[in-house]
Amino acid sequence: MILTIPYNPTIPGGYDKLTSAILRYGRHPNHLLFVAAKEEHEDGAFALAMKLREQFGGYFAVTVPNRQETGLQASNRMFVAALDALRDHVPSYGEMPDPVMLYFSPSWHPRKPRWLDEFQAEYYLSGAPMTFGCFGKGKVDGPVAISRRFLAETKLLRFLPQDKHWREFLAWEIINNGLQSEALGQSLPAYIRPSNS
């Protein structure tokens, strides 16, 4: 599985808690790390990747060109760039032949050892749906797993507007093509939860 962390130095709380949680709960050598960031934030994104690189089997930068834009627009462009990276990624020996991306939310944190292995196991035991996440009341909350099959099927992604967040605009497609994960949520038994829960 590819864990993708969008990097934005202006988010409240920063990345220290997420970094500490990932380091605390063990290595994931069978998974990859992608860090997505705008060009102007490459140094911070690289520093984050360097802190986490030994926890994963490999890491890659997903760079988004600079542009004068709102935070919402930057968030959307990082998400689309990460999906493009998923589409273009060529698995190496030992990787799953059809990789799946867990697009993370920096305000959510893992809470148990081998959390990414367990999340991947739950994903495949659930039938490898197109999407897999925390879907409540028509919303896409927190991290969401996205497969290449979703990229092939989505009709809305290319119409993503500049004034609506991808979590809202793509919610219908993501939810209706996916399944709810027990690993993600506000309380137990979820083991990937918001930092304030």
Give the pLDDT of residue 126. 97
Alpha-carbon distance 29 to 84, whole Å?
23
For residue 32, give its domain range: 2-194
CATH number of domain containing 167: 3.90.550.10
Instruction: Write the single-letter amino acid at 79.
Output: F
Of 12, 158, 123, 45, residue with least CA distance to 166: 158
* Predicted pLDDT of residue 186: 85
**Domains in the chain, number:** 1
Helix 42-52 and helix 16-24: axis angle, to 10°? 20
With a cut of 70, which residues of the chain have pLDDT below it? none
Helix intervals (H) in 26-183: 42-52, 71-88, 115-125, 148-153, 166-169, 171-176
Q: Which two tokens stand for residue 152?
A: 């092939």
Q: What is the pLDDT of residue 70?
A: 93
Write down the pLDDT at residue 13. Answer: 82
pLDDT tens digits, 39-57: 999 999 999 999 999 999 9
pTM: 0.95
Q: How far apart are the C-alpha atoms of 56 and 127, rounded to whole Å?
A: 25
pLDDT value of position 138:
81
The reported pLDDT for the residue numbered 92 is 82
- % pLDDT > 90, the chain: 86
